[in-house]
């Protein structure tokens, strides 16, 4: 693929998703692109990997500077398979998204989009996950493409530290209403799950997951949820290391 920057792209909405198409178009402005994305939606898969069945891959498109593959596995499977089998060199950049829906606050824990970006960070690749706060399949990605372009340009110029990736969320506003890009911390909150009980035609009960997000600090202006609510795009640096360093000394005082 020549000597241009080499960019790996994946997502969790599937290889046909509009957000993936939008991100591929932007990334192609910066270098050669290979897309390895799930063949169907893998939303909410977090860092899951496939271990009980084979993972299959199919070539969907190939032209100068662009290859697209579909993968039967999860977003993290896509990254692992790409790095181990499909690429002839390490990517300069890994991009995930653009997700249809928010991955702010604790949603990052469940997100296949962000898990793929984190997997890139684990492997020492500059990685970014992008999400647009619009769940519809016909979402307008015009603003998201503009934000993605700005973030990609900055990261390709200056990079990010090893084992850190960026979680970028973009509000649904017009370009003129966007107040800017705000560097944030992750909002403290939780999802209140609710399972709706239903009965199928065979008179068997089943449950459908729903719920809503509880923001524990709605007025904290340094958080991603506040930024998005107030018409900013948010960037949160995500760390691969989950260690709570502040608590180590406290634990060392105890007798186990």
What local confidence, expressed as pLDDT, does residue 216 receive?
Answer: 86
Reported pTM: 0.93
pLDDT tens across the length of the chain (256 residues)? 457 999 999 999 999 999 999 999 999 999 999 999 999 999 999 999 999 999 999 999 989 999 999 999 999 999 999 999 999 999 999 999 999 999 999 999 999 999 999 999 999 999 999 999 999 889 999 999 999 999 999 999 999 988 899 999 999 999 999 999 999 999 999 888 788 999 999 999 999 888 888 888 999 999 999 999 999 999 999 998 989 999 999 999 998 8
The domain limits of the chain are: 6-187+218-252
Coil/strand/helix, residue 5:
coil
What local confidence, expressed as pLDDT, does residue 58 receive?
Answer: 95
Structure letter (DSSP) for residue 247? G
Q: Cα 147 to chain center, whole Å?
A: 15
Domain 6-187+218-252, CATH among 3.40.50.2300, 3.30.70.1350, 3.40.1210.10, 3.40.1410.10: 3.40.1210.10
- Where does residue 207 fall: left (phi above 0), alpha (psi -120 to 50 degrees), or beta otherwise? beta
Nearest to 35 by CA among 55, 63, 54: 63
What local confidence, expressed as pLDDT, does residue 1 receive?
Answer: 46
What local confidence, expressed as pLDDT, does residue 2 receive?
Answer: 52
Strands (E), 200-231: 205-215
* Nearby residues of 132 by Cβ (< 8 Å), 6 or more positions away: 19, 97, 98, 99, 100, 101, 139, 141, 144, 169, 170, 172
Contact 185, 236 (CB under 8 A): yes
């Amino acid at each position: 693929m020549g000597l241009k920057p080499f960019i790996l792209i994946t997502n969790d909405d599937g290889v046909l998703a509009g957000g993936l198409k939008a991100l591929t178009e932007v990334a192609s402005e910066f270098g050669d692109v290979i897309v390895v994305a799930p063949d169907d939606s893998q939303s909410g898969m977090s860092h899951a990997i496939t271990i009980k069945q084979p993972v299959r891959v199919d070539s969907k498109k190939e032209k100068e500077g662009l290859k697209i593959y579909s993968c039967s596995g999860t977003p993290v499977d896509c990254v692992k398979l790409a790095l181990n089998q499909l690429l002839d060199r390490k990517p300069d950049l890994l991009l995930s998204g653009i997700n249809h829906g928010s991955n702010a606050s604790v949603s990052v824990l469940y997100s296949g989009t962000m898990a793929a970006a984190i997997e890139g960070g684990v492997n020492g690749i500059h990685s970014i996950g992008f999400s647009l706060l619009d769940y519809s399949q016909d979402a307008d990605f015009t603003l998201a493409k503009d934000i993605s372009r700005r973030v990609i340009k900055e990261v390709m110029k200056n990079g990010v530290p090893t084992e850190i990736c960026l979680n970028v969320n973009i509000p649904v506003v017009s370009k003129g209403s966007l107040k800017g890009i705000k560097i944030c911390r992750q909002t403290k909150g939780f999802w209140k799950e609710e399972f709706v009980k239903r009965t199928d035609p065979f008179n068997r009960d089943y449950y459908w997951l729903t719920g809503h997000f509880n923001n524990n600090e709605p007025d904290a202006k340094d958080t991603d949820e506040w930024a998005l609510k107030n018409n900013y795009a948010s960037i949160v640096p995500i760390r691969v290391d989950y260690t709570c360093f502040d608590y180590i000394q406290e634990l060392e005082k105890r007798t186990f």
